[in-house]
C-alpha cells in the first residue's frame, strides 16, 4: 500500500533534548516536505526537498534541520527543542505522475 509513514506519532520531551521525527515513503517520490500545524495558523511549511541531497527552507525553518540522504526518508531534526515547537507535524510526499501531495498521519510533539 502506498503511504507516508511518520514516527513517533506521539512524543513528550523536555527542552533541549535532541529528537528526530522520521518520515518514510514507499512510492519513490522525489519531492518531500514537512509542515507544522498550530491552532489558528493552518499548516505551515518547515522544509522541503526536491530530491536526494536537495533541501530548502519553507516558511518556518527556524529551530529545525532536515536531511535527505536517500529518496525514501526525510527526517526532521530538532537539535534543541523548545516549548514553542510543541505542535502537530505532518510529512508529505508528492506524486508527480498524479500531481498529488500525500500526507502522513501526523506526529504530535509536546516540549516541556
Partner 1 sequence: DAKTTQPTSMDCAEGRAANLPCNHSTISGNEYVYWYRQIHSQGPQYIIHGLKNNETNEMASLIITEDRKSSTLILPHATLRDTAVYYCIVMKGNSGGYQKVTFGTGTKLQVIP
Show the binding pattern over residues 83-102: x = contacts partner 1 (CB under 8 A), - = does not.
-----x-x-x-x-xx-xxxx
Q: Are 37 and 51 in contact (CB under 8 A)?
A: no
Q: Which span sits near partner 1 by CB under 8 A: 20-28, 38-46, 66-74, 78-86?
A: 38-46
Cell numbers standing for residue 3? 503511504
| 106 binds partner 1, rule: CB under 8 A | yes
Would you state the cell numbers that stand for residue 47, as one nine-digit string? 522544509
Stretch near partner 1 under the rule CB under 8 A, chosen from 13-21, 40-48, 63-71, 78-86: 40-48
Residue 71 backbone class (left: φ over 0; alpha: ψ -120 to 50; beta: rest): alpha
Residues 76, 20 contacting (CB under 8 angstroms) = yes
Name residue, grid cell 514516527: 7
Of 44, 65, 71, 72, the residue at the interface with partner 1 (CB under 8 A) is: 44
Contact footprint for partner 1 (CB under 8 A)? 4, 31, 33, 35, 37, 40-45, 48, 50, 56, 58-59, 88, 90, 92, 94, 96-97, 99-106, 108
Amino acid at each position: 500500500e502506498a503511504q507516508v509513514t511518520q514516527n513517533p506519532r506521539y512524543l513528550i520531551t523536555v527542552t533541549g533534548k535532541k529528537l528526530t521525527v522520521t518520515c518514510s515513503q514507499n512510492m519513490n517520490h522525489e519531492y518531500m516536505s514537512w509542515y507544522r500545524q498550530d491552532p489558528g495558523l493552518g499548516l505551515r511549511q518547515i522544509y522541503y526537498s526536491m530530491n536526494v541531497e536537495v533541501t530548502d527552507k519553507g516558511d518556518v525553518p527556524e529551530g529545525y534541520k532536515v536531511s535527505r540522504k536517500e529518496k525514501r526518508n526525510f527526517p526532521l531534526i530538532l537539535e534543541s527543542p523548545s516549548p514553542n515547537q510543541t505542535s502537530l507535524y505532518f510529512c508529505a510526499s508528492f506524486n508527480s505522475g498524479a500531481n498529488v501531495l500525500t500526507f502522513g498521519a501526523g506526529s504530535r510533539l509536546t516540549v516541556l
